[in-house]
Structure 1
Amino acid sequence: MKAVYATDLSAASEAAIETETCLDCLGRIGVDELHLVTVVPDNVHAGTPGIDHVKRRRRTLERYQQVIEAVGLGVETHVVRGTPHRRINGIAESIGADLSIVGSRGKSPLENRLIGSTTRNLARTTVVPLLVNRIERGVDEPQLVEKHLFERTLYATDFSENADRAFESFSYLHHATQEATLVHVQTETSPGPDGDDDPEQRLAELAGRLEEWGVDATTDVRDGDPVDEILAAETEYEPTTTLLGSRGRSRIRRLLLGSVSESVIANADGNVLLVPPGRTA
């Protein structure tokens, strides 16, 4: 598997890239080639007196490359200029990436949970699964919030096609997953799966599939607002990663705020793996 790791070369990004446990988790799910990408924004002028932005970034990526190669992963580096999320998505598509990874700081010093514009735009536009890697905020030496990326996974489903696609990610995640909690939130407009299927039964069937892969699975059917209940489940079960699908949206609608997936990414305490709809021909 190929993965794109987007970095802004900050201390937080360095903590994530140089965490051996994190790299080992990526290796366990099949990632053997990592593409480090850093983007020089268009508003950073190449001619800033005394500063060669591209050269400085290449030197830093070379240091990261040595760390990653030491754990047995192949590495390529990319220093590009442009709009960050567009260039990251472009590289992911051009190399046929299976996964994109971006770091996101956790709670701000004022306890407001925020995600940066690059993370938010990637969540809206990515065409490959996106891992939002949560990093501590407000400390001098930030670390990953959860180093064992997929050890305990919370899977949220509304039984849609997109949620089913997210579940199929366990076909490779199970190599690094020990426990999984499967959560469905019933609402007045979406009480459960289509037809006569009981949500408890549907979740039990999915749990059975995970058990066949050696994953200890439990189920939880909740009532209420999907975002609130998914976040409450994260607080209760303390997963290392929350897995969910993203509904397909038109070019115009994907610019709007308010989707469940975006709200979970913005407010979750831990890592989030977002799986977008499949590509259309």
Structure 2
Amino acid sequence: MKAVCATDLSAASEATIQNETCLECLGRIGVEKMHLVTVVPANVHAGMPGMDFEGRRKRALKRYRRVIEDAGFDVETHVVRGTPHRRINGIAETVGADLTLVGSRGKSPLENRVIGSTARNLARTSERPLLVNRIERGVDDPEVMYEHLFRRILYATDFSANAEDAFEAFSFLRNATQKATLVHVRTPKDPELPDEIDPEAKLAELAGQLEEWGIETETDVRDGDPADEILAAEAEYDPTTILVGSRGHSRLRRLLLGSVSEEIVARADGNVLLVPPGAHSR
């Protein structure tokens, strides 16, 4: 597997890169090559008075590369100019990446942009699985919220085709996942599920598949607003990562799609893995 790791060279966005356990987790799910990408905004120039952007960027990327290579990955670096989420998506397409990784907070003293807004834009536009790695907020020297990225997964489903695509991510996550909580939210905002779909039975069926892989599972059917209930489940079960379909329109009902997944990215305490429609059919 190949992963694109987007960095703005801030203390926050380098937290995953510098964390050996996080790198080990990526290796456990099959990542072998990392493409480090930093996007230079159009209004930043190397010759700006008092700013050694180019030198600092080169030194930071050299340091990151050494850390990732020492962890056993092949590494390629990319420095591009333009709109961050567009350029990151473009490189992911060009190199055939299986996963895009981005930090969820941090304002770069080098590039003067907010990586959090890039994460939200990627959540709306990425055509490949996107891992939003949650970094500590409000501290000068932040660390990742969870070193073990995939140890405990909360999978939220509306039983749509996109949710099924997200579930297929367990095919590679199972090598790093010990426990999974499967959540379905019933909501009055959407039509009822067809009579032939019993949420409890459907979740139990999915749980059985994971248990065959040795993953401890539990299920939870909740009622209320989808985003609120998924985040309440996160608070209750303390997963290291929430796994959801990122967008698409369910023929059954609109639930874990579009605005809901973006709200989860913005409000979740831990990591979020978003899987777009058709991600595993490439």
Q: Offset at 1:277?
A: 1.1
Residues 262 and 80 of structure 1, relative CA distance in 2, 3 Å threshold? same
What residue number does 1:220 align with?
220
Aligned-partner Cα distance in 2 for 1:2–1:85: 18
RMSD (Å) for aligned C-alpha atoms: 2.1
* TM-score (structure 2 length as normaliser): 0.90
What residue number does 2:147 align with?
147
Q: Offset at 1:119?
A: 1.0
Aligned-partner Cα distance in 2 for 1:115–1:88: 12
Question: Residue deviations 1:1-43, cap 9 Å, x none?
Answer: 0000000111112222110000000000000101111111011
Residues 5 and 73 of structure 1, relative CA distance in 2, 3 Å threshold? same
Q: Which amino acid aligns with 2:131?
A: L
Q: Offset at 1:197?
A: 2.0
Q: Unpaired segments of 5 or more residues in structure 2?
A: 107-113, 250-256
What residue number does 1:110 align with?
none
What residue number does 1:111 align with?
none
Does residue 70 of the first structure (1) align with residue 95 of the second (2)? no
What residue number does 2:57 align with?
57
Q: Offset at 1:94?
A: 0.2
Q: Offset at 1:195?
A: 4.3
Question: Residue deviations 1:207-250, cap 9 Å, x none?
Answer: 0000011100110000111011000000000000000002227x
Give yes or no for contact 1:57–1:79 (8 Å, CA) kept in 2: no
State the aligned residue count.
267
What residue number does 1:13 align with?
13
SS of the equivalent of 1:147 reads: coil
Range with bigger deviation, 132-141 or 197-206: 132-141
Aligned-partner Cα distance in 1 for 2:115–2:270: 12
SS of the equivalent of 2:57 reads: helix
Aligned-partner Cα distance in 2 for 1:100–1:186: 30
What residue number does 2:136 align with?
136
Q: Offset at 1:116?
A: 2.3
What residue number does 2:207 align with?
207
Aligned-partner Cα distance in 2 for 1:134–1:115: 11
Give yes or no for contact 1:192–1:199 (8 Å, CA) kept in 2: no
Question: Residue deviations 1:258-280, cap 9 Å, x none?
Answer: 71100011000000000011269
Give yes or no for contact 1:158–1:193 (8 Å, CA) kept in 2: no
What does residue range 7-156 of structure 1 map to in structure 2 within 5 Å? 7-105=7-105, 116-156=116-156
Give yes or no for contact 1:247–1:276 (8 Å, CA) kept in 2: yes
Aligned-partner Cα distance in 1 for 2:15–2:121: 23
Q: Offset at 1:193?
A: 4.4
SS of the equivalent of 2:13 reads: helix
Quote the sequence identity (%). Answer: 71
What residue number does 1:4 align with?
4
SS of the equivalent of 1:80 reads: strand
Residues 54 and 5 of structure 1, relative CA distance in 2, 3 Å threshold? same
Q: Offset at 1:105?
A: 2.7
What residue number does 2:254 align with?
none
Aligned-partner Cα distance in 1 for 2:54–2:278: 34
Aligned-partner Cα distance in 1 for 2:180–2:121: 28
Give yes or no for contact 2:104–2:119 (8 Å, CA) kept in 1: yes
Give yes or no for contact 1:155–1:181 (8 Å, CA) kept in 2: yes
Does residue 235 of the first structure (1) align with residue 235 of the second (2)? yes
SS of the equivalent of 2:75 reads: strand
Range with bigger deviation, 41-50 or 171-180: 41-50
Question: Residue deviations 1:77-112, cap 9 Å, x none?
Answer: 111111110110000000000000000139xxxxxx
Q: Unpaired segments of 5 or more residues in structure 1?
A: 107-113, 250-256
Aligned-partner Cα distance in 1 for 2:26–2:193: 33
Aligned-partner Cα distance in 2 for 1:190–1:183: 17
Q: Which amino acid aligns with 2:118?
A: T
What residue number does 2:253 align with?
none
What residue number does 2:260 align with?
260
